Structure 1
Amino acid sequence: MFGAFRPTNPLSGGLLWKIPWRLSKFQKARQRKRLRAVDSLVATLDTALTKKNITTKAVERWKEEMPIEQEMVPKDKYTIFDRKEKKYRKSMRKLPKWTRVSQRVNPPGY
C-alpha cells in the first residue's frame, strides 16, 4: 500500500508496554501496607468474635495457615510461585488483580 495508509513496522516486536520484573520501592511499600491492613482486619474480627464467644472456621483457618506481614520473607511478599517460569518465581504485578488476591503461602524451597 502506498500513501497515508502504509503499514508501519512494529516497534522492535513484542509488547509495546513492558512490565518491569521488579516492583519499585513505592509499590513495595503499598504492598506491605495492604498486607498489614488485612492482618489488622483479621485481628479485629478475631477480637470482636471472641468477645461474643463466637468462633468462625474461616478466621481460625486464616490465623493458623497465613503468616502475618512481619513473618513473611521478602521473596514471598513481592513475588509469587509459578511453575511455568524459569526460576519458578514471577513478579507480583504479573498476577491479574494482584492487589486483591492473597498470595501469602508459597511452596517451600522455591
Structure 2
Amino acid sequence: MFGAFRPTGALGGGLLWKIPWRLSPHQKYRQRQRLRAVDKVVETVANALAKKGETLKSLDRWQAEMPTEAEMLPKDKYTIFDRKEKKYRKGIHKLPKWTRVSQRVNPPGY
C-alpha cells in the first residue's frame, strides 16, 4: 500500500457526492415557496385574461388538474412516484433539476 499507487482519501471513502436521504427544513421551505410562486403566476395570468374576457385552454386545464400548494399533501410536496423504489416513492431532491420541474400530480394510492 505504499508507493505511487496508494488509495487517496476520496477513493477510499466511497461516494463523493452524497445526497441526504431526506430534505432539510430549509429545502422544504424553499420547495413550498416555489410551489406558491407558480400558483401566484397562474392566478395572475388567469385574472389578467379574465379582465379581458379571454381564456387559455392550457391555463384552464392547469387550474382544473393541478392542486395548489395549500391543497397538496406533504407526501406529494416532498416526494415523487418512482416505480423502481421499494415503497414507490423517493425524495423530490433526488430528481434531476427538481427545482425546475413541476411534480404536483402523482398516481393515486401511492
**TM-score over 0.5 (shorter chain):** yes
Deviating above 3 A after TM superposition, structure 1's stretches of 4 or more consecutive aligned residues are none
Alignment pair present for 1:75 and 2:60: no
Question: TM-score, with normalisation over the residues of structure 2?
Answer: 0.91
Question: What amino acid does structure 2 have at the position aligned with 1:21?
Answer: W
Partner of 1:29: 29
Distance 2:97 2:17 in 1: 18
Partner of 1:44: 44
Partner of 2:7: 8
Question: What amino acid does structure 1 have at the position aligned with 2:7?
Answer: T
Distance 2:109 2:81 in 1: 10
Distance 1:11 1:76 in 2: 37
Partner of 1:64: 64
Query: Relative to structure 1, is the Cα distance of residues 93 and 70 closer, same or farther in structure 2, using a 3 angstrom cutoff?
Result: same
Identity of aligned residues (%): 69
For structure 2, which runs of at least 5 residues remain unmatched after alignment?
none
Question: TM-score, with normalisation over the residues of structure 1?
Answer: 0.91
Q: Cα deviations across residues 1-51 of structure 1 (Å, max 9, x unaligned)?
A: 963x314163254x2222111100000000000000000000000000011
Distance 2:2 2:26 in 1: 47
Distance 2:91 2:55 in 1: 36
